């Protein structure tokens, strides 16, 4: 099992009000320069929020939600400091309740 760390906020906040796209673009560029494998993903309407253990968390976060999920806890800490108004946490996957850490409930349009 892998530990995944996340920052969670409303879609409006993360994708419209904050320069999240630029932050992730810069991080991706940096990883390519360092020949480092990407260890973070942006997931709209993350499915892990539908599990019983995240019921309270989902209620606290305006919907639709977006999560940036990573296997790197330092990156998530840095994002928390950069973005401020986000919720952070961690979970283990794959598990019985979270078979896919990066699953999304968003429909493709």
- Domain boundaries, given as residue ranges, for the chain: 2-93
46 DSSP 8-state letter: B
**Distances in whole angstroms, Cα of residue 109 to Cα of each of 12, 42, 102, 106:** 18, 17, 19, 9
Q: What is the reported pTM?
A: 0.93
Which CATH number applies to 2-93? 3.30.70.1860
pLDDT tens figures, 32-55: 999 999 999 999 999 999 999 999
How many C-beta atoms lie closer than 10 Å to residue 58's C-beta?
A: 15
| Residues 11, 73 contacting (CB under 8 angstroms) | no
Q: Of all residues in the chain, what percent carry a pLDDT higher than 70?
A: 98
Which DSSP string corresponds to 50-70?
A: GSGGGHHHHHHSPSSEEEEEE
């Amino acid at each position: 099992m892998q530990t995944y760390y996340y920052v969670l906020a409303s879609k409006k906040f993360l994708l419209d009000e904050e320069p999240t796209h630029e932050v992730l673009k810069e991080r991706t560029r940096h990883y390519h320069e360092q020949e480092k494998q990407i260890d973070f993903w942006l997931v709209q309407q993350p499915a892990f929020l539908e599990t019983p253990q995240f019921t309270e968390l989902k209620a606290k976060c305006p919907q639709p939600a977006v999560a940036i999920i990573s296997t790197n806890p330092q990156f998530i800490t840095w994002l928390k400091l950069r973005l401020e108004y986000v919720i952070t946490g961690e979970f283990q996957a794959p598990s019985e309740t979270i078979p896919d850490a990066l699953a999304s409930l968003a429909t493709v349009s």
